[in-house]
Structures are given as structure tokens and as C-alpha cells.
Chains A and B, each alone.
Chain A
Amino acid sequence: MVNFGYTIWILILPFLMFLLLGLAGHKLKPKLSGLLGTIGLGIITALSYVTAYKYFFTSEKVDEAFQKLTAFNSVWLQLTENLHIDIGILLDPISVMMLIVVTTVSFMVHIYSIGYMHGEKGFERFFAFLSLFTFSMLGLVVATNIFQMYIFWELVGVSSYLLIGFYYTKPSAVRASKKAFIVTRFADMGFLIGILILSFNTKTFDFITLTSLSGPAITQTGGAAFMGLSVLTWSMIFVYMGGVGKSAMFPFHIWLPDAMEGPTPVSALIHAATMVVAGVYLVARMFPIYSIAAPDALEVVAYVGAFSSLLAAVIACTQTDIKRVLAYSTMSQIGYMMLALGVSGYGGHDGLGYMASMFHLFTHAMFKALLFLGAGAIIHAVHSNYMTEMGGLRKYLPITHATFLIACLTIAGVPPLSGFFSKDEILTAALHHNKLLFAVEYAVAGLTAFYMFRLYFSIFWGKERHYHHTPHEAPLTMTVPLMILAVGSVFSGFIPFSKLVTSDSRPFESHIEMAVAIPSVLIGLVGIFVAYIMYSKETAIPDKLATTFKYSYKWAYNKFYIDEVYLFVTKNIIFRYISTPIAWFDRHIVDGTMNLIALVTQLVSFRIRGFQSGQLQKYGYVFVTGAIALAIIFVYLWK
């Protein structure tokens, strides 16, 4: 038995770092606080790698399966004999994998931010929030029970809110942070309802008990049905609602593009690589229940994922803000992961989708963080977010150009880069399960290649624009993380995920299915080629296309007016017909009652002030009278 007790430091250290930087940060030199935060995270990263090594290669396996280990546990609130909320650390293949993802990306982002945020006001505040986020995210992934996960789930929401609104003097940033918080909070309400229904029926919060094949969630077949679905299925759909919000799936995706108002490193860390995949992680964490006991809920996961990925890919083709393109691309790729989970079975080769989803989560974290950080370097150089104001940058930003190209090729699924492997597994899993979903994802693969290279060609090729000053390559603190992540993007595809992270923790054999791989590479190349024709040189084709398909283009450009629909519904229906009457009731009935109480209280207290006269003889009189009155009442009258 390997001892994992030290893993508690993976949680404690970032929290201490947050306290240190948050409370004493303004007294330190900005540079020092940045350095402290980065070193602290370096230690946490090292600890996570050691944990991963020990877990995957030295820990004991039972019947070839990796075991779920509780490295630390402490009862926090004992509600009843059986129901208690714990805080602890659970190690299993996916949580260990997430430790690697979170700490690696977070570490890269920390280093990058030293350069990117240099000279910004609130430098140490930024690092304090980064530490808080890292703490919350790590607490989320190692949660031993669903309630702990919920607590940290909200904490990542808070840190995301704080970081999106980092430039709190900018109204658009404040609006975006509010929007992100409210939309995800609304989804989390569903999550909470799901948790309550689930735990009410199973009498436990604990993940190990919940997901155990002989546990109450899976074996309990009974339970009332509602609208044709069992209570358990409903609870799992509600739980998924939380995941939909956090992972920006349709219909709760509207916050993610706006969240790009935050500093770019934040977008890379939170809104590309880690927090937004929390929804995927949540489904993966509860996967045995979804797969065995609530297949209908899993079907919902698959379709929501597929629809979101298509929707986002179409929108991404029309956007001009490079961070927004990347945001929609993130949504689309997470849709892939959700879909992969949705089409997966449980155990052995049936669990291909599960493995593929986790695999894609891992590779996506690398290349999407790389894309965002690269975008940050570009924005840093030209001081603009719009690709229409860029062009011909490859001469000025050689390192950024090279790494960005690698990332684009990776996401387009060009072999032998990592994206090829993980996407191929997802498509294979979809093909075996559901032809329709496969077709959708196949089309999305082409669209992905197209919009990524549209981005690439417009930024680095095309006509050179007039820049305020000659764009220059970013400092070393920013380019080194780019290079490291590029290496990760290239090689992480060779990690044998089917041996390490699988639905039932047992390894299985997987191989590349040529019948899927060749067409998917081909459509990727087609997408790249189309983008090359349209955007590598200034041509009239894009404009012509836009005018030909005027209406559909306009729809996609305006994100299918989903934001406007929400606004209409909230303003004209909810506010007018629900909130206004409630507000009236609150203002007149509730406040009126309170005012009445206050009035009476004031009046009475004014009337009785004479009692407190200050005269001792009167006090004595009241005292004795009181004693006699008590005696008469309680000895004789009211016995």
C-alpha cells in the first residue's frame, strides 16, 4: 500500500498561497508575489506528478483494476447517523489525471502571467485569485463526495467571477462576470436539486458508495417515476444541468464568450482547460450510475453535447474576435467530450467513449491552453482582439507563429499530433453507437479545421495591417510556456490512455480504426484547404459568401440570437409577469408588516420609558411587587 497522505498538501498549499497573497500581497513587491505564487504552484505541480507516478505505476491493483483510494478524509458535518458531509481526497484514475491537467496548465499560466500581467494594477491580487482558483479546482477534482464537489464547484464559480471581473473598472468586464456567475448559478440550482434528490434516495453523498456496482444508486431499481423517467434518472439529469452550466453547453453557453473579457491567461486556465471541463468531469465521476442505472440521462448528455458542438462550430466560423472564436471552439470541443461520454458503455472496450472523452479532455487542455496563450501573445503584440486588424504577423512573432500553427494542426486532427488520436477515438465510439451523432461530429471536425485555419491565416498571413508600433515577440516568460505546451500538444497523443483511464479502471486494447481515421483526416485537410484559399491572401470570397448567404450568415454572426431570446424572456416575461407582482407584494405586504412591527415597537418603547426612572425607591418597589406578583400568580393562580 502506497501512502498518499501527503496529497493533502496539494490542497493546503494553494489555499495558504491565496491567504498569503490576498492578505499580505499589497505589502510585497508585485514581482515577489508573482514569483511566490509561481513557486508555490511549481511545488504543487511536482507533488501532483509524483502522485500520478505513484498511483499509476506503484500502487497496488486488484484484479488488474486501479483502486479508488481515499487518501484523506475528515467528517465536517454530521447530519444524521448515515448522512454526513466529509472533506477528503479521493484518488482514482480520473482524479489523478485531472491533477496533472490542472496543475500543469495552472503552472504554465502562472509563468506566462508574470510576463503578460507585468505592470498591471492589482498584479498580486491576480495571483491571489489564481491561487484561489487552483485550490478550488483541485478540491473539486479530488472530492470524495458529491457535496464536497458542490462546495468547490461554487468556489471555482466565485474565482471565475473574480477573475473575469479582474478589470473591475471596465463596465463590459463587470457585466461579463455577473453574467457568468448568474448563468452558472442558475444551472447549479439544478445541480443542487439533483444532489438532494439523489442523496435522499440513496442516503449517501459518498462517490465510492454511489458509483459502486453494488451500491444503492445502481441496485435500487424501484422508485417513483415521473413523466416516464425514474427518479434516479431525473436526479441525474438535474446533476447534469450543473455540468451544462459550468461547461457552457447549450442552452447555458451564453456566458462563455463574454467571459473572454477577463485577462487572457485566465481564459486559458479557467475558460479553456480546467473549469469548463468540470461538467465533463462530473459526468465521468458519476459515470457508472449514468451508464447502468440512468441510460436515458446519458442519452441527454450525448445529444446536448452533439448539438452544442455543432452550434458552436458554426458560430465560430463567423466571429472576428480571436478570443471569441477560441471560446466557441472550446464549447465545441467540450461538446465532443460530452458526446463521447454519452455514447460510451461501461466496462472493457464498450467504455471506449469514456476513455476517448478523458483522452480528449487531456489533449484539449494542452492545445487549447496553448491557443489561448498564443492569442494572448498576439494581443500583447498588436493591442487588438480583432483578426480584421491583423495579418502577416508570422515575420514578427516567429515563436508564437510556430506554436500556434502546431496547436491549429492539433485541433484539426492532423496525425501524429495528439488531437488526431483523441478525436479519432471519439469518432470511432460515436460510429459504433449512433450514426446520426457520428455524422454531426464528422461535419464538426471539418468545420473545426476550417475556422481554426481561418483564424491562423488571417492572423499570420494575409495582408499586413498598419500597426501602431512594430509588433514584437513576447518576452521569454511568455514564450517558454508556449513551447512547453506545444511539446505537450504534440506528444500527449502517445500516452496509452486505454491502459490508464478507463470506465471500469481496467486496461483494454484500443487501436486506430482506419475506416474512421482516414476520412476524418481528409475532412480536416479539406477544411484547412478551404481556409487557405479564402484567407491566406486577401480575396473577395469571404465577402461574397457572406452576401450570398446573407441571412444565415447574419444569424450565425449574431450567435443565432440566443442572447436576445434570453433577454426577451427575462425582461418581458419573467420581470413583467413574475418579478413585478412579487416586488409589489414584498414592498407593500412584507415591508408593510415590518414597518408596522417597527412602529408598534417604537411606540411601546416610548410609552414605557417611565419605568426606568433612576430612582432607587421605585426600583425597590418594582422589585418587591414583582416578587409578590410572581408568587401570587405561580403559587395560587396558575398552578
Chain B
Amino acid sequence: MSPEKFVIMRHELLLTAAALMVLIVEVFSHPDKKGKVITLSAICFGLITVLGLLPSPEGELFGGMYITNAGRLMMKNILNIGVLLVFLQSADWLRRDENSEKISEYFVLMISTLIGMNFMISSGHFLMFYIGLELATIPIAALAAYDRHRNISAEAGIKLILISALSSGILLYGLSLIYGTTGSLYFGEIATVFRGSNLQLLGFIFFFTGMAFKISIVPFHLWTADVYEGSPINITAYLSVISKGAAVFIFIIVLFTVFPVIVAAWQKVIYVTSILTMTIGNLFAIRQQNLKRFLAFSSISQAGYILLGFIGGNQLGMASVIYYILVYIFSNLGAFGVVLAISNASGKENVDDYNGLYHTNPKLSLIMMLALFSLAGIPPVAGYFGKFFLFTAAAEKGYYTLVIIAVLNTIISLYYYLLIVKAMFLLKSDNPIEKFKSTWYTRFALGLCVAGIIVTGFASGLFELIRNLSFGI
């Protein structure tokens, strides 16, 4: 490969190099000094994130299996920012004694999944897509079982791997049907010969099922709550934000470039599933006491809102989806960051435990409030603008009923988000969470989240930038 080709693939190559380097450092470092792997990985990944932001040429590799352009690069960068936040938030937790042996595994596995996601986003061929998908899924199962001595964590790993095998099977079946009827796996070629016969529709539905599993769309979401609850909190955060975001990115690309012919069909599918997803997600979220489970269901309903951006098939829709994922990364990771910090300090994870948090830890409470407001879409924080654009995109194409249902759902979601705010600020507790000081890593990560929640909301140029890189059918 010529040097320019390296530049084109620099995200994947840099990440691979980083993963290998972490492994090598691990081998040669003293068992008592494993902690420095954390610093090294964080710095290294920070550098990669910054390097990724540099402009890069567009192009194709491997005969069109690998495609990159400014829009896809931006998606990768957004994921990078999210992963950086997750790394920063995990530092304290990784320093615990029980994790000291497997610090580098954490980074290697996580970077591997990120490589998978990057390949998935850059794919121009269903095989490349599938390899990326698996690379992005299987290591996560290992990560979910990271606390392998806790039964619940092991259970989460098993559940994830089994369900993902099932979904992969269905997805592959769908792909084989598409291949059988079109004779190609290249995105571009399929799009030219795809006509939407029943068999092809069936193939599409199965493909949709596979993606629905990754994005946890109802009724393919059942694994979510158990896996989210069982996994360590940072893995849950990773699953709910990065993994979901990557799947959303590639899904919208494939829908818009491969299946524009059957747009009427997939609009119906998305119409129904998005209503189901946001409603069911909300209904379950209301009843949750465990914050991880709570955030799991809230993230399911968030996926429902995101589908609203898909449905119009317009450029505004794609832009609003990408923008929403960016906002969602900051907001959800902000919420998870606080949950993680508190869980690390006190081991408490239930809503009741947060009673009176404001009196002991006012800063954390304020960050949590900001993040929850953003998730609920209260102006003027970023989440509001995110939802606003998503709903606008759907309304522009005349899906008023859907928008009204979505707005009703945001009202319901407001209720349970505010329950936590109420617990933190209004309720009193005899046994509140002790006052504690977070470490530099956590503070930095949470600071970034807060800045992100505020800045992405107010910087109107950002949305314009995303919009210029988006496309419609």
C-alpha cells in the first residue's frame, strides 16, 4: 500500500497500533506498576482522537470494500470522543485491586471493538460490514463478563454472546438472501439492481433485525436490561452510547445508500418499531430502581427517538441523527460518569440512595441534573436541540402523528428523569452518600461532558457542519 492509503485508513491503523502497544507494555511492565498502563492508554488515545480530527483525503481501498469520506470520518471522530470519555471515567475503577491484573485487557478489548466499529462505518461491502460488526460485538461480550467473579457479570456476558449469535444468524441469513437475489455484496451494486421483490424484502427485514439488536429496538431489546445491569458500569456506558451510536451510523448509511428503492417499506417498519421502542422503553424505565437498569431502559427509548431521524430519508434527518448521537454521548456519559463515581465511592446504585445527594455532593448533583435535563430534552441544553432537529426532520416529511407520539413519550420520560433530580435535590435521607472527592480523571471526564452538553447546544455552526456532510436519499 502506498503512504496515502495509510492516511486513508489512519483511524483503524492507529487504533491497531495502540492496541498492540498496550499489550507489549503490559508484558514488560512490573506487576505493581500496572497503573501506568491507564495513563499511557488515556494519553495515547487522546492523541489518536486529536489526530483523527485532522482533515484527511477521501477514497476507497480493497476494491471498494473500504470507503472513507468526510462524513464517515466525522462519525469515527464522534465515537473517538465518546471512547475517550469512557476511558477517562474508567481510570478509578481500573485502579481497584480486583482489576489490577486485567487492566490492559480492558483497553485492548475496547480498542478492538472500536476498530470493528470503524471498519463497519467505513464498509462499502456487506462482508466488510459483517466482519466489523462481529469485531465490534464479540469483545464486548468479554468485557461484559469483566467482573467474572460476580455471577451477574458472567451472566451478562453469556446472555450477550448468545443473543448476538442468534441475531448474527438472522442477519447473515438476510444478507445471503440479498446476495442470492442481487448477485453482489457491494453496497453500490446492490443498490442498482435491488427492486424490492418479496424475497429481497425478507432479506431486508432480517438485516433490519440484526441492526435492531445492536440498537436495541423493541422487540429485539430484551437482552439490554440484563446485560446493562450485569456489566461493570463503564461497559454499560460503552454499550449504551458507543456501540449503539456506531450501529446507528452504519444503519443510516446502509438505509440511505443500499435500500433507497424500498424506502416506502422501511419507513413503515421504522414507523412501527420507533413507536414501540420509545413507548416500551419508557414504560419499563418508570419502574426501575437500579440506576443502571434505569439508564438501560432510558437508552432504549432514546433509540426510539433516534429512529425519527431515519424515517424521512432526508438530509436533515441524517444530520439530526448524527448530531443527536453526539449530544447523546455527552449527556449519557455525563449521567453514567456520575453513577460510576458514586458507585466507586460508596457502592450504591439505587435511586433511593441518591436522596439528599445535593447536600453532600452538590457538584455531582448539578452535573447529573444537567445530563438528565439534556436526555429529557429541556431547553436550553444540547438535548433539547437534538430532539428538536429529530422531530423537525420527521415533521418535515409529514409524520405528524409520529411526532406527537414522540412528544408524549418525552413527557413521560421527563417524569422519570425528574424523579432522580427530585431525589437528589428535594428528598432527605438519613443515610446519604458521604461527601467524597473525585480524582482528576473523573473530574476531567465530567468537565468534558458538561462542556459538551452546553457547547454542542449553543454552537449553531456545529449542526451546520454536520448537515453539510450529511446526505439524503
Contact = CB atoms under 8 A, between A and B. Distances in A.
Chain A bound to chain B: yes
A29 to B, nearest CB: 24
A630 B269 contact: yes
Nearest to B286: A605
Contacts of B280: 608
A495 interface: no
A601 B205 contact: no
Contact of B163 (A620, A633, A638): A620
Contacts of B159: 616, 619
A602 B283 CA distance: 7
Contact of A77 (B225, B273, B283, B460): B460
Interface stretch (A320-328, A349-357, A429-437, A621-629): A621-629
A433 B170 CA distance: 89
A619 B223 contact: yes
Given A605-B283, A605-B284, A612-B225, A622 B166 contact: no
How many A residues touch the partner, as a band? 20 to 34
A608 B219 contact: no
B201 A634 contact: yes
B268 A634 contact: yes
Given A601-B283, A608-B283, A635 B205 contact: yes
How many B residues touch the partner, as a band? 35 or more
A606 interface: yes
B166 A624 contact: yes
A495 to B, nearest CB: 42
Q: Which of B158, B159, B167, B283 has the most CB of A within 10 A?
A: B283
Nearest to A598: B415
B222 A639 contact: no
A143 B119 CA distance: 51
A604 B201 contact: no
B428 interface: no
A609 B287 contact: yes
A612 B222 contact: yes
A623 B167 contact: yes
A601 B286 contact: yes
A616 B163 contact: yes
B471 to A, nearest CB: 22
Interface in B202-237: 202, 205-206, 208-209, 213, 219-220, 222-223, 225-226
A597 B415 CA distance: 12
B198 interface: yes
Contact of B209 (A602, A616, A620, A626): A626
B166 A620 contact: yes
A631 interface: yes
A623 B222 contact: yes
A15 to B, nearest CB: 15
A611 B268 contact: no
Contact of B198 (A77, A78, A606, A635): A635
A605 B268 CA distance: 25
B269 A634 contact: yes
A614 interface: yes
A597 B407 CA distance: 13
Contacts of B284: 605, 608-609, 612
B276 to A, nearest CB: 10
B448 interface: no
A623 B208 contact: no
A86 to B, nearest CB: 13
B167 A634 contact: no
B198 A627 contact: no
B163 A619 contact: yes
A639 B262 CA distance: 10
B209 A611 contact: no
Interface in A468-513: none
Q: Which of A611, A619, A625, A638 has the most CB of B within 10 A?
A: A619
A627 B265 contact: no
Q: Which of B158, B205, B223, B415 has the most CB of A within 10 A?
A: B205
Given A611-B222, A619-B159, A630 B283 contact: no
Interface in B262-317: 265, 268-269, 272-273, 280, 282-284, 286-287
Contacts of A598: 415
Q: Which of A606, A609, A631, A639 has the most CB of B within 10 A?
A: A631
Interface in B124-148: none
Interface string B62-77: 0000000000000000
Contacts of B273: 630
B412 interface: yes
Nearest to A594: B411
A616 B166 CA distance: 11
Contact of B222 (A601, A619, A631): A619
Nearest to A603: B283
Contact of B287 (A606, A619, A634): A606
Nearest to B412: A601
A630 B162 contact: no
A631 B272 CA distance: 13
Contacts of A623: 163, 166-167, 209, 213, 219-220, 222
A624 B219 CA distance: 10
Contacts of A601: 282-283, 286, 412
Nearest to B163: A619
Contact of A604 (B223, B225, B283, B408): B283
Contacts of B205: 627, 630-631, 634-635
Interface in B163-213: 163, 166-167, 170, 198, 201-202, 205-206, 208-209, 213
Nearest to B205: A631
A630 B208 contact: yes
Contacts of A77: 460
A622 B283 CA distance: 18
Contacts of B282: 601
A292 B386 CA distance: 46
Contacts of B163: 616, 619-620, 623
A634 B209 contact: no
Contacts of B412: 597, 601
Contacts of B166: 620, 623-624
A624 B162 CA distance: 13
Contacts of A78: 460
Contacts of A618: 222
A632 to B, nearest CB: 9
A287 B225 CA distance: 65
Given A623-B220, A626-B220, A635 B287 contact: no
A636 B198 CA distance: 8
A100 B463 CA distance: 40
A78 B467 CA distance: 15
Interface in A582-621: 597-598, 601-602, 604-606, 608-609, 611-612, 614, 616, 618-620
Contacts of B206: 627, 631
A592 B158 CA distance: 46
A625 B219 CA distance: 9
A369 to B, nearest CB: 36
Given A612-B284, A620-B162, A630-B205, A639 B219 contact: no
Given A602-B286, A623-B220, 4 more contacts: A601-B412, A608-B283, A630-B209, A639-B265
28 contacts: A78-B460, A597-B408, A598-B415, A601-B283, A601-B286, A601-B412, A608-B280, A616-B159, A616-B162, A618-B222, A620-B163, A623-B163, A623-B167, A623-B213, A623-B220, A626-B209, A626-B220, A627-B170, A627-B220, A630-B269, A631-B205, A633-B272, A634-B201, A634-B205, A634-B268, A634-B269, A635-B201, A635-B202
Interface of A: 77-78, 597-598, 601-602, 604-606, 608-609, 611-612, 614, 616, 618-620, 622-627, 630-631, 633-636, 638-639
- Enumerate the 10 nearest inter-chain pairs by beta-carbon distance, A residue then B residue, closest first: A626-B219, A605-B283, A619-B222, A627-B209, A635-B201, A631-B205, A630-B205, A605-B286, A605-B287, A634-B269
Interface of B: 158-159, 162-163, 166-167, 170, 198, 201-202, 205-206, 208-209, 213, 219-220, 222-223, 225-226, 265, 268-269, 272-273, 280, 282-284, 286-287, 408, 411-412, 415, 460
